[in-house]
């Protein structure tokens, strides 16, 4: 009999979204005439930009002709896309070499698979509340996690504590689920901490395109020294509506080098290249060709148009909460709005209260960790009409 990876037994049942679906289905069955509005979704709703759709058609035609057909692609992804991403970083005043960029099918795979780079016995630090992939992917390989509290006291932006021990640190900014965004000085503290403690920062910037405040860093590599201590994960899912098309990229700097127990230099860039070329055969040419459009002037303009639409939704939600005197985080520089449940309700009570009284569905904060117990997440990914209608109903309720 094979010895099964029993670490899977340590995973907590992931019941958040299935429980939400179950409660909504039940409600709809009993109230078929009610109009339920979903503001809990973490998926985009606007279609792909025209620039990307045209490129998908073009690439499909290329695949149908012997002269332009493409088989297996280069290990790290096509040069044209890595160069386009490197130039995008440059436009944001960040220097990233195309050789440090690895194209993937999305940030979920990479944030999950990066665990392959690290051995056992590490102190792995994650914030609470947290994007669950960081937690579950570590539990699957037998690692324990150390949680640092993100709460209203620190504006949901936990900072390193000098006495804290950490080898691997997960940071997500703009944050899912809280919408909080680290500023330059705060990220500098994390980078300084990581360098002083020889730790690595795994920086998830899946929502960087939502940052509108030019003073806020969109990349960990905007911080001096970060190339010595950080890996960055990025995604076209929310930037360009690629949740179903699938494309992301991970930046592993060449300067990210650690010393093995036998004194050998370990380049994480080379190790990740080896890992990816062994276990992953690349994102399809068609998708990479379309992804390159995201970084052209016209493509970027079209993506920004969609992001502007979501930003307006976020503002509609944020303005309503402000008006009602409900404390919240996020809502600007982020598609997420994380509000404190009024009247001492816990997050599941809030869920039922909103569903039963105004037929608005959100995400209970408890699903992201103990510090989410009294918080509730709304997203700006719905339609404008639905967002306006949901907030009208919300205003009447509180």
Ligand X SMILES: Cc1ncc(COP(=O)(O)O)c(C=O)c1O
Give yes or no for a contact between 261 and 20, defined as CB atoms under 8 angstroms apart.
no
The contact mask relative to ligand X for 12-51 (x = CB under 6 A, - = no) is ------------------------------x---------
The reply to whether 88 sits near ligand X by the rule CB under 6 A is no
Instruction: State in angstroms the smallest separation of the CB of 49 from ligand X.
Output: 17
Nearest to ligand X of 86, 235 (CB atom): 235
The reply to whether 129 sits near ligand X by the rule CB under 6 A is no
The reply to whether 248 sits near ligand X by the rule CB under 6 A is yes
The reply to whether 331 sits near ligand X by the rule CB under 6 A is no
The conformation of residue 331, written as its DSSP 8-state character, comes to S
Instruction: State in angstroms the smallest separation of the CB of 245 from ligand X.
Output: 10
User: What is the distance between the alpha carbons of residues 88 and 98, in angstroms, rounded to a whole number?
Assistant: 11
The reply to whether 243 sits near ligand X by the rule CB under 6 A is yes
The reply to whether 127 sits near ligand X by the rule CB under 6 A is no
Taking only Cα atoms into account, the Rg of the chain, rounded to an integer number of angstroms, comes to 22
Nearest to ligand X of 287, 358 (CB atom): 287
The reply to whether 206 sits near ligand X by the rule CB under 6 A is yes
The reply to whether 235 sits near ligand X by the rule CB under 6 A is yes
Q: How many CA atoms lie within 13 A of 316 on its CB side?
A: 24
Which has the closest alpha carbon to 336: 376, 380, 290?
A: 380
Cα-flanking dihedrals φ and ψ of residue 118, to 5°? Answer: -120, 140
- Measure Cα distances from 164 to 157, 194, 279 in Å: 16, 11, 34
Nearest to ligand X of 42, 342 (CB atom): 42
Neighbours of 45 (CB within 10 A): 18
Give yes or no for a contact between 245 and 303, defined as CB atoms under 8 angstroms apart.
no
The reply to whether 204 sits near ligand X by the rule CB under 6 A is yes
User: What is the distance between the alpha carbons of residues 249 and 235, in angstroms, rounded to a whole number?
Assistant: 6
Instruction: State in angstroms the smallest separation of the CB of 314 from ligand X.
Output: 15
Q: Which of 176, 178, 334, 363 binds ligand X (CB under 6 A)?
A: 176
Q: Which of 151, 237, 288, 313 binds ligand X (CB under 6 A)?
A: 237
Give yes or no for a contact between 378 and 361, defined as CB atoms under 8 angstroms apart.
no
- Measure Cα distances from 158 to 155, 169, 336 in Å: 8, 12, 18
Nearest to ligand X of 63, 145 (CB atom): 145
User: What is the distance between the alpha carbons of residues 280 and 33, in angstroms, rounded to a whole number?
Assistant: 48
The reply to whether 372 sits near ligand X by the rule CB under 6 A is no
Q: Which of 38, 76, 82, 108 binds ligand X (CB under 6 A)?
A: 108
Instruction: State in angstroms the smallest separation of the CB of 31 from ligand X.
Output: 29
User: What is the distance between the alpha carbons of residues 130 and 12, in angstroms, rounded to a whole number?
Assistant: 14
Near ligand X by CB under 6 A, which window of 11-19, 106-114, 223-231, 341-349? 106-114
The reply to whether 106 sits near ligand X by the rule CB under 6 A is yes
Instruction: State in angstroms the smallest separation of the CB of 235 from ligand X.
Output: 3
Helix (H) or strand (E) holding 231: strand 230-235
Angle, vertex CA 234, rays to CA 91 and CA 155, nearest 5: 95
| E-assigned strand segments in 160-199 | 168-172
Q: Which residue is nearest to ligand X (CB)?
A: 106
Near ligand X by CB under 6 A, which window of 105-113, 137-145, 146-154, 178-186? 105-113
Instruction: State in angstroms the smallest separation of the CB of 348 from ligand X.
Output: 21
User: What is the distance between the alpha carbons of residues 256 and 248, in angstroms, rounded to a whole number?
Assistant: 20
Residues that bind ligand X in the complex, under the rule CB under 6 A: 42, 106-108, 111, 131, 172, 176, 204, 206, 235, 237, 243, 248
């Amino acid at each position: 009999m094979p010895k099964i990876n029993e670490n899977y037994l340590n995973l907590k049942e992931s019941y958040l979204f299935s429980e939400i679906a179950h409660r909504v289905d039940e409600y709809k069955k009993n109230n078929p005439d009610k109009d339920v509005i979903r503001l809990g979704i973490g998926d985009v709703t606007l279609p792909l930009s025209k620039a990307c759709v045209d490129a998908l058609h073009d690439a499909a035609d290329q695949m149908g002709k012997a002269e332009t057909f493409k088989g297996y692609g280069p290990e790290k992804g096509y040069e044209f896309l890595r160069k386009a991403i490197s130039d995008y970083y440059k436009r944001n005043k960040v220097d990233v070499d195309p050789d440090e960029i690895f194209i993937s099918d999305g940030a979920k795979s990479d944030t999950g698979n990066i665990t392959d780079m690290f051995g056992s016995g590490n102190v792995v630090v994650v914030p609470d509340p947290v994007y669950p992939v960081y937690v579950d992917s570590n539990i699957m390989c037998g690692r324990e996690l150390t949680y640092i509290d993100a709460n209203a006291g620190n504006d949901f932006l936990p900072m390193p504590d000098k006495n804290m021990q950490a080898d691997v640190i997960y940071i997500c900014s703009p944050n899912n689920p809280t919408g909080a965004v680290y500023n330059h000085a705060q990220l500098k503290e994390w980078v300084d901490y990581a360098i002083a403690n020889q730790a690595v920062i795994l920086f998830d910037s899946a929502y960087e395109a939502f940052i509108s405040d030019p003073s806020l860093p969109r990349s960990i590599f905007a911080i001096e020294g970060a190339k010595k201590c950080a890996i960055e994960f990025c995604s076209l899912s929310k930037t360009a509506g690629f949740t179903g098309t699938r494309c992301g990229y991970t930046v592993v700097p060449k300067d990210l080098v650690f010393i093995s127990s036998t004194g050998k230099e370990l380049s994480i860039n080379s190790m990740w290249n080896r890992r990816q070329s062994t276990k992953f055969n690349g994102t399809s040419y068609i998708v990479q060709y379309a992804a390159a459009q995201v970084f052209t002037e016209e493509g970027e303009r079209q993506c920004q148009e969609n992001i502007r639409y979501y930003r307006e939704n976020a503002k509609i939600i944020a303005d309503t909460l402000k008006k009602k005197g409900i404390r919240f985080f996020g809502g600007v520089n982020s598609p997420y709005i994380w509000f404190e449940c009024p009247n001492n309700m816990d997050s599941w009570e809030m869920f039922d209260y909103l569903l039963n009284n105004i037929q608005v569905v959100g995400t209970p904060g408890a699903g992201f960790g103990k510090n989410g117990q009294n918080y509730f997440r709304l997203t700006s990914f719905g339609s404008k009409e639905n967002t306006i209608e949901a907030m009208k109903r919300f205003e009447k309720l509180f």
